[in-house]
């Protein structure tokens, strides 16, 4: 909702101010499609040159994420805490060996099956299963600090990879003003080819060329740079769910009481997504 409100304000302020100042939209409407092809096409091509296809695809898909917002909602944070809590409950009640079936084949695990949205996320499954698999292999003789360091490394690597998409969008935004100048120069070249035309024709050609400069700057600072910034915020927020998993597993390995484990995990979550203590405690009661 706010995404479209923001875009509306950007377009309204720029074009509305232009029209209120007495400007005519006809020259812009006529020139903009051709200038857009030059600027956007060159920016996309340069992005394909400068990035792997996976990063490029993530950057373009990131614009959609700017509209939809972060993937994980409050119910998902509650769900992941219950999921991890149930697995830790199995380890506590039935012994560490009982975890093996769940962590080695999570697709067939009835506990993972209760949370299909979470189970579809490969990295969430990996973040849960990898340290618990170590617990199985070591027969419970596992140092909490070692697991915490391993999970920190995994989270940092994942976050670094996820931030490549915002970086790619930011690079595109940085290139667009210069590509707008390229479009403008091409318009001037076209104008010079018609130098024998009357002033009214030359004026229209020069105006069309200047639309390229305007469009490059507008796309950069009014759209793509904000897209990159918002996508970076989303990546940061979505990363909180991995910290929740880490804190619950590490707290359990340190032998902390369940209320402490819950509060340690909840502290990783932004307030607008944070389930209440009673919600988590009630959901984990008996595990």
| pLDDT band at 140; cut points 50, 70, 90 | low
In whole angstroms, give the CA distance from residue 128 to residue 148: 12
Say if 6 falls within a structural domain: no
CB atoms under 10 Å from CB of 34, counted, come to 15
132 contacts 209 by C-beta, under 8 angstroms: no
Examine residue 5 and state whether it is found in any structural domain, yes or no.
no
CB 221 within 8 A of CB 231: no
Q: Does residue 223 sit within a domain?
A: yes
Decide if 109 contacts 154 (C-beta within 8 A): no
Report the interhelical angle of 164-192 vs 25-50 (nearest 10°): 130
Residue 177 pLDDT exceeds 80: yes
Between CA 174 and CA 180, with CA 178 as vertex, the angle to 5 degrees is 110
Element spanning 2, H or E: helix 2-20
pLDDT at 235: 97
CA distances from 225 to 11, 40, 148, 190, 232 (A): 15, 14, 35, 30, 11
pTM (2 d.p.): 0.90
Is residue 215's pLDDT more than 90?
yes
Does residue 230 belong to any structural domain of this protein? yes
Mean pLDDT across 29-35: 93
Strand locations in 77-171 (E): none
For residue 168, name the pLDDT band (cuts at 50, 70, 90).
Answer: very high
- Distance CA(286)–CA(276), nearest Å, equals 18
Backbone phi, psi, residue 254, to 5°: -85, 0
Return the pLDDT at 96.
84
Q: How far apart are CA 83 and CA 13, in angstroms?
A: 48
Question: How far is the first Cα of the chain from the last one, in angstroms, to the nearest whole number?
Answer: 39
What average pLDDT score do residues 99-118 get? 93
What band does 202 get if pLDDT is binned at 50, 70 and 90? confident
DSSP three-state, residue 219: helix
Q: Is the pLDDT of residue 98 over 90?
A: no
Q: Taking the alpha carbons of 151, 153, 156, 162 in that order, is the dihedral positive or negative?
A: negative
212 close to 183: Cβ distance less than 8 angstroms: yes
Does a structural domain hold residue 11? no
Q: Residue 194: which domain range?
A: 26-287
Q: What CA–CA distance (Å, rounded) separates 171 from 165?
A: 10
Q: Would the pLDDT of 267 be above 90?
A: yes
Contacts of 36 (CB under 8 A, 6+ apart): 215
Is 21 within the bounds of a domain?
no
pLDDT tens digits, one per residue of 238-262: 999 999 999 999 999 999 999 999 9
Angle at CA 275, nearest 5°, toward 274 and 276? 115
Among 93-97, 132-136, 165-169, the least confident range:
93-97
> Please, what is the average pLDDT of the chain?
93
56 lies in some domain: yes
Residue 3 is assigned to a structural domain of this protein: no
Work out how many domains the chain is built from and give that number. 1
Q: What is the DSSP letter of 276?
A: P
Residue 286: is its pLDDT beyond 70?
no
């Amino acid at each position: 909702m706010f995404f479209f409100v923001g875009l509306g304000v950007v377009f309204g302020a720029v074009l509305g101010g232009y029209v209120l100042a007495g400007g005519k939209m006809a020259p812009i409407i006529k020139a903009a499609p051709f200038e857009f092809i030059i600027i956007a096409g060159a920016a996309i091509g340069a992005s394909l040159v400068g990035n792997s296809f996976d990063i490029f695809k993530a950057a373009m898909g990131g614009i959609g994420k700017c509209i939809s917002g972060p993937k994980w909602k409050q119910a998902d944070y509650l769900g992941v805490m219950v999921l991890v809590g149930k697995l830790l409950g199995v380890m506590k009640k039935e012994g560490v060996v009982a975890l093996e079936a769940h962590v080695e084949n999570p697709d067939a695990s009835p506990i993972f099956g209760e949370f299909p949205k979470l189970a579809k996320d490969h990295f969430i499954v990996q973040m849960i299963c990898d340290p618990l698999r170590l617990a199985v292999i070591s027969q419970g003789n596992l140092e909490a600090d070692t697991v915490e360091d391993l999970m920190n490394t995994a989270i940092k690597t994942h976050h670094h990879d996820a931030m490549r998409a915002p970086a790619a969008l930011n690079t595109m935004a940085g290139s667009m003003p210069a590509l707008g100048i390229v479009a403008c120069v091409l318009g001037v070249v076209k104008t010079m080819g018609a130098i024998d035309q009357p002033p009214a024709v030359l004026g229209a050609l020069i105006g069309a060329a200047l639309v390229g400069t305007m469009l490059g700057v507008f796309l950069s600072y009014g759209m793509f740079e904000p897209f990159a910034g918002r996508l970076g915020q989303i990546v940061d927020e979505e990363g909180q769910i991995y910290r929740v998993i880490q804190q619950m597993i590490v707290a359990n390995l340190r032998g902390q009481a369940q209320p402490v484990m819950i509060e340690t995990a909840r502290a990783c979550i932004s307030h607008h997504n944070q389930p209440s203590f009673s919600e988590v405690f009630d959901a984990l009661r008996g595990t």
